Amino acid sequence: MKKVRTRFAPSPTGYMHIGNLRTALYEYLVAKKDHGDFLLRIEDTDQERFVEGATDIIYETLKQCKLYHDEGPDIGGPCGPYVQSERVHSGIYKTYAEELIKKGKAHYCFCNQDAINQQRQLAEAKGISFKYDDPCKHLPMEEIEQRIKEEAYVIRQNIPSTGTTSFKDEVYGTITVENETLDESILLKSDGFPTYNFANIIDDHLMGITHVVRGNEYLSSTPKYNLIYEAFGWDIPTYIHCPPVMKDEHQKLSKRNGDASFQDLVAKGYLPEAILNYIALLGWAPETTQEIYSLEELTQAFNVKRIGTSGAIFDIQKLTWMNGMYLRNMDEETYYQLVLPSLKKAVNKDYNLKDISKILQQRINLLSEIDEAVDFFDELPSYPNDYFINKKMKTDEAISLKSLQAVKELYTSLSQWDFNTIHDETIALVNKLEIKNGQLLYPIRVALSGKLFTPGGSIELAHILGKEESLRRIDLAISQLQSK
């Protein structure tokens, strides 16, 4: 059995799309499940679409996701170079294209591009299907030899006009098409660069790729690939076509529509691990009901047979939930280190950031929520007296005022300010006043934070804020309630 080798072959045209990342993930998983190799190849055969810096984004994304490749442009390997534009210089694509011509499976074409497009448009306008019947196929040998010296030309694939071509896909099953429906597409462009389709075949073969994982938009061109593999007598790789990741039921998720890229999500406070975990589940279902997976666990659990066939809509709400799960499941110290930079930015006064981190951990889904969640530490926001009214807690302004006055007295009398003392004394006060917990604690929390929602409860907040600041805020609340 040959060693499994997969490749992620993106074009450096901008940000990393979610669908692209998922393909990379699946490629990684397919390889690693069988202890195979995962390679990175940059497909930059379209010189017009090349975007500066896009390659770095690819490296950076793979690194952040811990999808480490075994061979690639940045780390080398036995099948280099791993950038197609560099491979072009060695002339391999041209050599193979010419070999195909010798085998009678391809031909030179001197046709004018605009003329063909005109024909196509004409046919489309008439509503009839267009298939280009290339006159160059029938050119005499002498004429061809003469013209390739002086004219620009492309090399086109020859497709048999009869018969069918079938291929087996691991997720979609066996697909058969009539050869006559296949176009004789260009293999080598007039600038000497191969088209994606051709470069792909040559490189996959030369790099020993055993499993091709890609989007299902390639389903219809796969028969043409096979014709070429067969012409060369090469092994056909195992195909794994994946369903698309959708934005809604009609549109695919794409950067062009302004949909979130991996980078956007990270910037919004999503963890790479959570993003990866979530997208693994878009179009693939594990055998058990487990949903939270580390990359290692995914590698174990992954099974190509369980990739679905219909498009999956990207649900940001579920990702958000999952991100929260990751945050909550972290150990305290890891979480603290993670949020420390944001915390330092958001809290400038001298509070115990570790304590703040602790109360924050259980209540946040996104890193980007931190700023707003802890803004009241530095400065008490102004708030309306309505905040003291809560039906469920059975509090209103009058009860709150009374409670706060009692708390003021209690807090003033406390000689110790550790969490347990505050907790025990506060609860004792509740019992003494014969009221509900919420009737005392809810007003305290509002007074201390000036907010309806806070990380942590009133006792945690009082503890973190300190005696002096807590009393100051309670005083403010009392006078605000009295002045009404």
Instruction: Count the site residues for RNA by CB under 7 A.
Output: 93
Residues catalogued as catalytic: 255
Supply the minimum distance, in Å, between the C-beta of residue 129 and RNA. Answer: 4
Residues 274-303 that bind RNA (CB under 7 A): 281-285, 287, 289, 291
Structure tokens of 131?
């298939």
- Give 235's Cβ-side CA count (13 Å radius): 12
Supply the minimum distance, in Å, between the C-beta of residue 12 and RNA. Answer: 9
Residues 304-323 that bind RNA (CB under 7 A): 305-306, 308-313, 315, 317-318, 321
In the chain, what are the helix, strand and coil shares in percent, each to the nearest 5?
Answer: 50, 10, 35
Supply the minimum distance, in Å, between the C-beta of residue 385 and RNA. Answer: 16
- Scanning 68-76, 93-101, 113-121, 260-268 for contacts with RNA by CB under 7 A, the matching segment is 113-121
Q: How far apart are CA 357 and CA 343, in angstroms?
A: 8
Residue 316 or residue 398: which is nearer to RNA going by CB?
A: 316
Question: For the chain, what is the largest distance between any 2 Cα atoms, rounded to a whole number of angstroms?
Answer: 109
State the SS3 of 391-415.
CCCCECHHHHHHHHHHHHHHHHHCC
Supply the minimum distance, in Å, between the C-beta of residue 70 and RNA. Answer: 21
Helix, strand or coil for residue 466?
coil
**Phi and psi angles of residue 50, each rounded to the nearest 5 degrees, phi first:** -60, 135
Q: Is 172 in the site for RNA (CB under 7 A)?
A: yes
Residues 322-351 that bind RNA (CB under 7 A): 324-325, 328
Residue 318 or residue 354: which is nearer to RNA going by CB?
A: 318
Supply the minimum distance, in Å, between the C-beta of residue 303 and RNA. Answer: 10
Supply the minimum distance, in Å, between the C-beta of residue 374 and RNA. Answer: 12
Residue 79 or residue 199: which is nearer to RNA going by CB?
A: 199
* Residue given tokens 């690939």 in the structure block: 225
Q: Is 113 in the site for RNA (CB under 7 A)?
A: yes
Residues 211-270 that bind RNA (CB under 7 A): 216-221, 243-244, 246, 249-252
Cα 219 from chain centroid (whole Å): 23
Residue 59 or residue 130: which is nearer to RNA going by CB?
A: 130
Spatial strand order of the sheet with 164-169 comes to 173-178, 164-169, 238-242, 211-215
Supply the minimum distance, in Å, between the C-beta of residue 451 and RNA. Answer: 8
User: b/e per residue, 321-356, with b = 16+ CB within 10 A?
Assistant: ebbbebbeebeeeebbebbeebbeebbeeebebeeb
- Scanning 40-48, 96-104, 266-274, 466-474 for contacts with RNA by CB under 7 A, the matching segment is 40-48
Q: Contacting RNA (CB under 7 A), which of 208, 268, 437, 471?
A: 437
Residue 129 or residue 483: which is nearer to RNA going by CB?
A: 129
Q: Contacting RNA (CB under 7 A), which of 57, 159, 186, 275?
A: 186
- State how far the alpha carbon of 70 is from the alpha carbons of 249, 272, 294, 357, in Å: 37, 20, 20, 38
Q: Is 77 in the site for RNA (CB under 7 A)?
A: no
Q: Contacting RNA (CB under 7 A), which of 53, 78, 127, 233?
A: 127
Residue 95 or residue 121: which is nearer to RNA going by CB?
A: 121
Q: Contacting RNA (CB under 7 A), which of 136, 177, 236, 471?
A: 177
Query: 140 — alpha (psi -120 to 50), left (phi > 0) or beta?
Result: beta
Supply the minimum distance, in Å, between the C-beta of residue 294 and RNA. Answer: 17
Q: How far apart are CA 108 and CA 261, in angstroms?
A: 41
Given the DSSP bridges, would you call strands 245-246 and 5-8 parallel, antiparallel or unpaired?
unpaired
Residue 233 or residue 332: which is nearer to RNA going by CB?
A: 332
Residue 253 or residue 481: which is nearer to RNA going by CB?
A: 253
User: Could you count the other beta carbons within 10 Å of the beta carbon of residue 114?
Assistant: 8
Residues 445-474 that bind RNA (CB under 7 A): 445, 452-460
- 238 has which bridge partners? 211
**Phi and psi angles of residue 262, each rounded to the nearest 5 degrees, phi first:** -55, -45
- Scanning 53-61, 185-193, 229-237, 337-345 for contacts with RNA by CB under 7 A, the matching segment is 185-193
**Phi and psi angles of residue 383, each rounded to the nearest 5 degrees, phi first:** -145, 155
